[in-house]
A and B are shown apart, each in its own frame.
Chain A
Amino acid sequence: MPPIISRGFTGRRRDAPPDRVPPGQYVTDDFPVLSAGPTPHTPLDQWDFTITGEVDALHRWSWEELRALPSESVTVDIHCVTKWSKLDTAWEGVSVDTLLEGIETSAEYAVAFCDGGYTTNLPLEDLTGGKAWIAFAFDDEPLEPEHGGPARLLVPHLYFWKSAKWVRGLRLAANNEPGFWESNGYHLYGDPWQEQRYWGD
């Protein structure tokens, strides 16, 4: 079906490079907030990050231990399934590769779990090879709670709901179990360039 032309609609285009804005997205300078529930506030002395599931042993880092790991500064474009994209966002975080170093697993998938009960699922290969971080700073400032602080997962090549806010760990698994939004109508994988927003896309 060819698209219907909207009489009198011209749109307000921006000079965004087309190779950086996936189909159906628009560029914003704001940083909108989307969360399914209240913002949790876990004190840092009670915070930890764990890797569990199909691993040789449970691996755990306190906040101090995580912050003592080598971190990276990354500047990436992010794409929210609600249609906004934000270009050149600047983050600092620990690469997931660093956390997985030396961990034995046969798992092919991971579920990120979070304060507040949120979960999201990803193939493990989307978290490795320099594609994902546990981010704790945005624009050189500590990550604000409403944006996922103290730390969120950052997986910029997938829709931003995969970049789970308030992340507390990864559960590695042999199977791909749908997370929170993935059980509520949203795509299991979420590639913005394929416009994989919803079930069946």
Chain B
Amino acid sequence: MAGTAVLGRLNWRVADVVEVRPETSRTKTIAFDVPDWPGHQAGQHVDVRLTAEDGYQAERSYSIASASDASTLELTVERLDDGEVSPYLTEELRPGDAIELRGPVGGYFVWDSSAAGNVFLVAGGSGVVPLMAMARQRNAEGSGIPTRLLYSARALEDVIYRDELAQLTQEDGFDVVYTLTRAQPSGWQGYDRRVDRDLLAEVAPAPPELAVSFVCGPTPFVEAVAGALVELGHEPMRIKTERFGPTGG
């Protein structure tokens, strides 16, 4: 099945909405039942297509949030106020609706279960979504790959998946480091500034121990993080980036 999906055309599939779950004030997770979903790799995305009554269509890409063996396909979508598709997905869609999607797409920014060494995930805002798929995949596989997530958000209430991430850190070899760039709760012990070179020097595994870094967020975030990792001696080919958010589509 998976082989056919890779070699054949990625046809549009009907995806039935089974749950819409608020994550933060701006993001929701939408769980779909997609009959005959061929499976996916953590980090891949799907294309979503909406059709208006007069036939007008709009397509966008969204990262998959769920692990590959999950019973439903989940997308976590941030509402962009001037967006065309995300306000519909987050505000209008409800269980019982159906949309069209096709995928999975992308073979590079994906979790590698055979990574030799540490994996470093760096998320800016809703860029955490494909990295969460990786954390979930790691957990589902019972993988022992030492994995650290550095997650930059504006404030604690903007952190997506906070409870589940806390649970995942109970597993051996997975931890999360937060930095809250705009507002911190009283008594906050984590970082409180944008991710910079000094912060990465403290948080990133040393270059010889690091198999791969996955960096996902808005473009200025990704440029800053990937550039600083190179300055710290990490090999550029081992830094995989993906842009996510308002300017990425």
Contacts and interface: CB of A to CB of B under 8 A. Distances in A.
Interface string A16-52: 0000000011100010111111111000000000000
B92 A4 contact: no
A200 interface: yes
A26 B84 CA distance: 10
Nearest to A117: B237
B160 interface: no
Given A9-B58, A11-B57, 13 more contacts: A3-B12, A3-B49, A11-B84, A24-B47, A25-B59, A33-B223, A35-B241, A37-B241, A38-B229, A181-B108, A184-B108, A198-B10, A200-B7
13 contacts: A1-B12, A8-B88, A9-B50, A9-B88, A11-B52, A24-B49, A33-B243, A33-B247, A35-B241, A117-B236, A180-B108, A185-B105, A200-B8
Interface residues of B, number: 48
B12 A6 contact: no
A144 to B, nearest CB: 10
B153 to A, nearest CB: 21
A36 B243 CA distance: 9
A88 interface: no
A11 B108 contact: no
B236 A38 contact: yes
Contacts, number: 127
Given A6-B52, A38-B229, A116-B236, A184 B84 contact: no
Nearest to B103: A198
B248 A200 contact: no
B57 A3 contact: yes
A5 B12 CA distance: 14
A146 B219 contact: yes
B249 interface: yes
9 closest cross-chain pairs (CB), A and B:
A200-B9, A184-B107, A38-B226, A3-B51, A6-B50, A24-B59, A82-B249, A33-B219, A184-B108
Nearest to A2: B51
Interface string A69-101: 000000000001011100000000000000000
B52 A39 contact: no
Quick one: which of A1, A10, A38, A201 has the most chain B CB within 10 A? A38
Question: Could you tell me the dominant secondary structure of chain B's interface residues?
Answer: mixed
Given A4-B98, A7-B97, A200-B7, A37 B240 contact: yes
Contacts of B226: 37-39
Contacts of B227: 38-39
B105 A198 contact: yes
A184 B56 contact: no
Contacts of B58: 9, 11, 26
Interface in B70-122: 84, 88, 92, 97-100, 105-109
Given A4-B14, A146-B223, A183-B107, A37 B236 contact: yes
B53 interface: yes
Contacts of B97: 6-7
B51 A5 contact: yes
A11 B49 contact: no
Interface string A57-69: 0000000000000
B61 interface: yes
A161 to B, nearest CB: 12
A8 B89 CA distance: 11
Contacts of B183: none
A9 B100 CA distance: 13
Nearest to A82: B249
B60 interface: yes
B18 interface: no
